[in-house]
Homo-oligomer: A and B are copies of this chain.
Amino acid sequence: MIIIDYHDKRPIYEQIIDRFQTLILNGALEPDTQLPSVRSLAIELSINANTIQRAYSELERKGFIYSIKGRGSFVRQDNSLAEKQKAKTLAELCGQLKQCKEIGITQPEVIQCVNQIFMEVSA
């Protein structure tokens, strides 16, 4: 379910966060589903448990999951969180687009790119 790419420059905990986020926003993980325990996931991925802990803490802070002491971690209800995430991602996209424009990429080139991406079948 979770794959770590050691060639990826991003820190491991961030890769884990991202992965769970998309799984949740995708609907692949439904509300109240239990996440693997910190320790079991640590063993499965053979990485430090602190790293998993950090990822889960951040996910909780961001509102994607909730934790119950002694029980485990669970997926939160989808309360407008998806909207926030969408807004944020769109903002990032805008930054990228501005950069494209700055170095002389034209609108049609971008549009073509967009169409190409949205034509493909979902992964």
Number of copies: 4
C-alpha gap A70/B48 in the complex (Å):
11
Chain B residue with minimal CB distance to A83? B104
Interface residues on A, range: 35 or more
A interface: dominant SS: helix
- Asked if A92 is an interface residue, CB under 8 A from chain B, the answer is yes
8 Å CB contacts to B: which residues of A67-123? 68-70, 82, 85-86, 89-90, 92-94, 96-105, 107, 109-111, 113-118, 122-123
Q: Establish whether residues A118 and B101, one from each chain, have CB atoms under 8 Å apart when the complex forms.
A: yes
Q: Establish whether residues B98 and A117, one from each chain, have CB atoms under 8 Å apart when the complex forms.
A: yes
Q: Establish whether residues B89 and A105, one from each chain, have CB atoms under 8 Å apart when the complex forms.
A: yes
Q: Which of A7, A22, A102 has the most CB of B within 10 A?
A: A102
A22 to chain B, nearest CB (A): 5
6 sampled A-B residue pairs with Cβ under 8 A: A22-B102, A93-B96, A94-B117, A101-B118, A107-B114, A110-B114
